[in-house]
């Protein structure tokens, strides 16, 4: 598969849209991850436990969102360098179907599979 067959502009639009979405969600996620009020006279024990669980889930979501944002930014930098779509493991071109599924992918399916196993 040659690089000329890859519609880089299409993937750049996808990455920019994804980045904008992640940034807008980031603002909302920060508020949900704020410190939970532990004053028992104001909030019951079960409500506090629910709030703490919600806070922990929000913090985990924020970490995943930050990691996805780093991946998107790295993919945009690869575009600027002219090596977007090349596997960083083996140097072969990443299948465009994989990039449709995950435009920030940095590894081909074979290299991604070998990293997991």
- Sorted by where each begins, the domain ranges of the chain are 3-83
Instruction: Return the pLDDT at 45.
Output: 65
DSSP 5: G
d(C-alpha 112, C-alpha 117), whole Å: 9
Instruction: Supply the pTM of this predicted model.
Output: 0.72
- Distance separating alpha carbons of residues 62 and 20, to the nearest angstrom: 15
Angle between helices 45-81 and 8-32 (to 10 degrees): 160
pLDDT of 94 reads 96
Q: What is the pLDDT of residue 2?
A: 47
Q: What is the pLDDT of residue 63?
A: 92
Chunked mean pLDDT (size 10), the chain, 117 residues:
72 95 78 56 68 85 93 97 95 96 96 79
> Tell me, what's the pLDDT at 53?
85
């Amino acid at each position: 598969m040659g690089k000329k067959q890859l519609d880089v502009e299409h993937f750049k639009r996808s990455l920019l849209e994804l980045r904008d979405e992640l940034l807008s969600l980031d603002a909302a996620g920060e508020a949900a991850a704020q410190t939970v009020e532990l004053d028992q006279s104001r909030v019951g024990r079960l409500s506090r436990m629910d709030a703490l669980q919600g806070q922990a889930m929000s913090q985990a979501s924020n970490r995943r969102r930050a990691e996805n944002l780093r991946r998107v930014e790295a993919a945009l930098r690869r575009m600027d360098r002219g090596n977007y779509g090349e596997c960083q493991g083996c140097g072969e071109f990443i299948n465009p179907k994989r990039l449709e599924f995950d435009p920030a992918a940095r590894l081909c399916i074979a290299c991604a599979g070998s990293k997991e196993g």
